[in-house]
A and B are shown apart, each in its own frame.
Chain A
Amino acid sequence: MTAELHTLTGAYALHALDPDEQAEFERHLAACPACAQEVRELSATAARLGSALTLVPPDGFKESVLRRIDSVRQEPPRTSAGPAAAGASRRGRTVSNWALAACLAAVAALGATTVWQHLEARDARQDARQAQQATDQVADVLAAPDARTRSARLADGASGTVVVSEERDKAVFVAASMARPPSGKVYQLWFDDDGTMRPAGLMDPGRTAQTVLMDGAVGDASGMGVTVEPAGGSRHPTSQPVALLPLPA
């Protein structure tokens, strides 16, 4: 089985797997550092195939791109030095990138959904692009070299995992088997700034398993929580947390 999956490194590097197989292979990568290394090498090789393929863009192409970037907000540059980096050592064990690949499988599933939306209409395509970017950002946190995780069992057999990258200053919450919130309610995420809860976005009430990029920077938060709130969310928690996790330390 493993040997058979291992032969998918080439197809994976060429983006030639169906979404289901891709998810399965990514689960396999989590347990196979040799495969991960091979995937990196073969991906770089695939890109070399692309670099040889050159077309001259039509007139006005560059101007059009330059015009479009005027209205695009850039992701802020990463700060590689400074207080966050200096504090890195206080956080504990580093989980290898590939140990997190299982989470990426969930992300890949999300990506497939966005692809569907993509087609429905021009507006829907815009939404899909935003969803795709959110997916990319989730993947970016999960694959960050300094990503650390903390998991906890929640009520009713649910489980939650928070993944934090200090370098990216972002966190991702991965929920599994969560009960649906009562009608008209949503799960809301919070950062715990030393006892003060800071809103960090809402979860999709229609899904029991999901991977959510938490809104805002991690900053100095020491933990995160989940509460049930009225639809649309609250500025402060109005109920007891259903989950409360210290950030990985």
Chain B
Amino acid sequence: MADVAKGDKDAFSSVYDAVAGSVLGVVRGVLRDRAQSEEVAQEVLVEVWGNAARYRTDRGTAINWVLTLAHRRAIDRVRSVEAAAARDHQAALLARTPEFDEVTEAVETRLEHEQLRRCLRTLTELQRQSVSLAYYRGLTYSQVGELLAVPLGTIKTRLRDGLIRLRDCLGVSA
């Protein structure tokens, strides 16, 4: 990444090869629309090139940095589209999320990492659904609560407890 920041296109090409598939996967999961996803994923990758100097090794791995950026940009896009195009929040929510079971199952079959799949299975059903809908579908926690018909306070704690359990299972430190 330090070479990318210095304008080394070969280094960028290697970074691209390492992250592009996941960037597209994350963005597509949230946005669903294929053309928009490709557009946002390209913007993210171009931003990685432009802002590589901002990546700091002491704040985690490069791929985490890139994927956090990709997730944020995908969410920015989906929420701006919702805000502008659909004041009817419920309609937008339903239009975007047909069946949460279908969603989470589709996501899980695409998971390549056995460890992550195993760790996700250690979560309670509600934790797993909440975390999946928030991360992979880009829903706010209140949308998650609405969709699962669960009180907001419960969703808040399930998101936190679920991530904590995942963190411990995956051995993530920061």
Contact = CB atoms under 8 A, between A and B. Distances in A.
Q: Is the interface of A mostly helix, strand, loop or mixed?
A: helix
A11 B80 contact: no
Interface string B43-86: 10111011111100001100111011011100111011101110
Given A41-B167, A69-B9, A14 B21 contact: no
B112 A52 contact: yes
B31 interface: no
Given A46-B68, A61-B42, A116-B80, A51 B113 contact: yes
A90 to B, nearest CB: 23
Number of chain B interface residues as a range: 35 or more
A48 B160 CA distance: 15
Interface in B119-167: 131, 134-136, 138-142, 144, 153, 155-164, 166-167
A244 interface: no
A82 interface: no
Interface of B: 2, 5-7, 9, 12-13, 16, 20-22, 24-26, 28-29, 38, 41-43, 45-47, 49-54, 59-60, 63-65, 67-68, 70-72, 75-77, 79-81, 83-85, 107, 110-113, 116-117, 131, 134-136, 138-142, 144, 153, 155-164, 166-167, 170, 172-174
14 contacts: A11-B140, A11-B141, A14-B135, A16-B144, A42-B160, A45-B163, A46-B135, A48-B166, A53-B29, A53-B107, A54-B21, A73-B50, A74-B5, A136-B51
Interface of A: 4, 7-11, 13-18, 37, 40-58, 61-62, 64-66, 68-69, 72-78, 111, 115-116, 118-119, 129, 132-133, 136, 140
